[in-house]
């Protein structure tokens, strides 16, 4: 009598298990190969966008990929109309070879980017190089008390995207001029993989307000019929800086967003935003700087954004608004100056912890808090001279071994909020490159 357990098809169970194991391993291998392939495409495309007309050999040198890999990917990208290759040869021959400048196709594919804030939306169309096409557009949202209405917000984004589409068609004099996709960014804990908003203190979405996990990507996809990406604002802003801004040549940097009441951050590793397991990596705003301090919008106390932003400064200075606090501090009012110094010190402490942990080459600041210095209108500071200097002092004091090297702090003013939507749209370009958007079958609108 046989003692070998046999499965339904008469195959010994042990053999079936071995076969299943092989299949799984083969599946894992295919998935890993696909991932590596996507990463190569991204690195190559990223290089083409950042370097003006590189040759194939420049791309190979910058990315460290083999010449044949680069040539193969370039060929596929050209077939998909993502890039063009312009022969450099002076004899005008059309021979496409090693001496062709590679450029991203500009006037064919378009993407929309939208920044979501409690008070309104800013939208922008960009081309495949991330270059703005036309002007950004604003849509004000009616003030609400308490949590933002989900349907109202989705309708607002849809209306803005419709407006952007019409403006694109008028600008290109092309009734088709289709959008490949929509990128949306907002502050808070966003699960970029599922496109769900886990927690947004600005919109008051999250468990704390009994609105857990808003499936924003799914809702916007249904409303706009566009491939949609939803991500954190600091991730989008960092992506904009990495593609078109101060971080063009930086693989490792820290993007810090300081707004009127929020602080966000995103670490870029190897040129990519690091999101963490669930999308909340880099939540500098909710690192505790003053245990038991002021209540934070997240429900905790003493978080960086609760003690280092406008409301904390105004309250501590006993002023009616930030402008009054700044004027009084400039007039050497001791209470007002202390309010700025304490707040700046709190941000510096939080930042020092992050700098110690990730050791970035550059720290780039943006957001409403970036303003001209009182003593030198050409110089940018966060909130005020007192605040900024206190922040720098605390970073120096609390970063282990030594503070960041001189010149590693950069401030960017983005009063019109261009960079947010631009970065958000760029996130969709990443999906186009990764093959998640079929460039041949753009959704008809
Ligand atoms: Zn918090």
Query: Of the CATH numbers 3.30.420.40, 3.30.1490.20, 3.20.20.20, 3.40.50.1820, which one belongs to the domain with range 110-236+419-433?
Result: 3.30.420.40
Give the bridge partners for 100, in sequence order.
Answer: 87
User: Given this model, what pLDDT does residue 92 score?
Assistant: 53
The pLDDT of residue 441 is 45
Domain 34-104: state its class: mainly alpha
For residue range 394-403, what is the model confidence (pLDDT) as tens digits?
A: 999 998 887 7
Q: How far apart are CA 74 and CA 63, in angstroms?
A: 13
* % pLDDT > 70, the chain: 94
32 Cα to the center of ligand 1, angstroms = 37
* pLDDT tens-digit series, residues 211-221: 999 999 999 99
pLDDT of residue 442: 43
- Quickly state the pLDDT bin for 363 (edges 50, 70, 90): very high
Distance 18 CA to ligand 1 centre (A): 50
Same fold: 110-236+419-433 with 249-411:
yes
Q: How far apart are CA 286 and CA 264, in angstroms?
A: 9
Cα 307 to middle of ligand 1, angstroms? 10
CA distance 406 to 311: 30
Report which of residues 274 and 24 the model is more confident about.
Answer: 274
Give the residue-averaged pLDDT of 210-234. 95
Superfamily, domain 249-411: ATPase, nucleotide binding domain (3.30.420.40)
Q: pLDDT by residue (tens digit) across 287-344?
A: 999 999 999 988 899 999 999 999 999 999 999 999 999 999 989 999 999 999 999 9
Ligand 1 center–CA 321 separation, angstroms: 22
Mean pLDDT of the chain: 88
Reply yes or no on whether the pLDDT at 173 is more than 80.
Answer: no
Query: For residue 140, how far is its CA from the centre of ligand 1 (angstroms)?
Result: 26
The full set of domain ranges for the chain reads 34-104, 110-236+419-433, 249-411
Expressed in angstroms and rounded, the spacing between residue 396 Cα and the centre of ligand 1 is: 24
Q: Kindly give the distance from the C-alpha atom of residue 301 to the centroid of ligand 1, in angstroms, as a whole number.
A: 7
Residue 154 Cα to ligand 1 midpoint, Å, equals: 26
- Lowest pLDDT segment from 89-93, 237-241, 341-345: 89-93
H-assigned helices in 136-191: 150-172
For residue 280, the 8-state DSSP code is -
| Ligand 1 centroid, distance to 185 Cα (angstroms) | 19
Q: Are 289 and 304 in contact (CB under 8 A)?
A: yes
Q: What is the pLDDT of residue 351?
A: 95
CA of 327 to the centre of ligand 1 (A): 28
Instruction: Give the residue-averaged pLDDT of 183-203.
Output: 92
The strand pairing partners of 200, in sequence order, are: 205
């Amino acid at each position: 009598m046989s003692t070998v357990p046999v499965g339904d098809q008469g195959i010994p169970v042990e053999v079936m298990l071995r076969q299943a194991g092989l299949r799984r391993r083969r599946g894992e291998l295919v998935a890993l190969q696909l991932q590596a392939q996507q990463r190569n495409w991204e690195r190559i495309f990223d290089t083409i966008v950042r370097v003006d007309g590189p040759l194939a050999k420049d791309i190979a040198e910058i990315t460290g990929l083999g010449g044949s890999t680069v040539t193969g990917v370039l060929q596929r990208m050209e077939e998909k109309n993502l890039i063009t290759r312009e022969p450099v040869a002076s004899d005008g021959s059309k021979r496409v070879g090693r001496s062709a400048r590679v450029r991203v196709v500009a006037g064919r594919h378009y993407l929309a980017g939208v920044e979501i804030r409690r008070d309104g939306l800013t939208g922008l169309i960009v081309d495949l190089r991330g270059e703005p096409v036309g002007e950004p557009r604003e849509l004000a949202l009616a003030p609400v008390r308490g949590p933002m209405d989900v349907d109202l917000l989705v309708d607002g984004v849809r209306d803005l995207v419709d407006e952007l589409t019409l403006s694109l068609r008028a600008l290109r004099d092309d009734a088709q001029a289709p959008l490949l996709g929509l990128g949306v960014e907002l502050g808070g804990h966003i699960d970029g993989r599922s496109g769900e908003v886990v927690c947004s203190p600005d919109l008051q979405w999250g468990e704390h307000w009994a609105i857990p996990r808003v499936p924003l990507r799914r809702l916007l996809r249904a409303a706009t019929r566009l491939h949609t990406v939803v991500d954190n604002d600091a991730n989008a802003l960092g992506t904009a800086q990495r593609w078109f801004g101060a971080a063009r040549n930086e693989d490792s940097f820290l993007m810090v967003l300081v707004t009127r009441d929020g602080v966000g951050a995103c670490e870029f590793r190897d040129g990519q935003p690091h999101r963490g397991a669930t999308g909340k990596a880099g939540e500098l705003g909710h690192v505790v700087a003053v245990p038991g301090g002021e209540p934070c919008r997240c429900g905790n106390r003493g978080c960086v954004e609760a003690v280092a932003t406008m409301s904390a400064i105004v309250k501590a200075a006993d002023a009616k608004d930030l402008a009054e606090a700044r004027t009084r501090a400039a007039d050497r009012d001791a209470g007002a100056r202390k309010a700025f110094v304490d707040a700046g010190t709190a941000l510096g402490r939080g930042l020092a912890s992050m700098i110690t942990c990730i050791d970035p080459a550059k720290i780039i600041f943006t957001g409403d808090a970036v303003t001209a210095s009182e003593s030198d209108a050409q110089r940018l500071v966060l909130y005020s001279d007192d605040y900024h200097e206190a922040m720098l002092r605390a970073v120096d004091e609390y970063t282990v071994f030594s503070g960041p090297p001189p010149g590693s702090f950069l401030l960017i003013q983005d009063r019109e909020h261009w960079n947010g939507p631009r970065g958000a749209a760029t996130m969709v370009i990443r999906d186009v490159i990764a093959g998640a958007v079929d460039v041949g079958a753009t959704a008809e609108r």
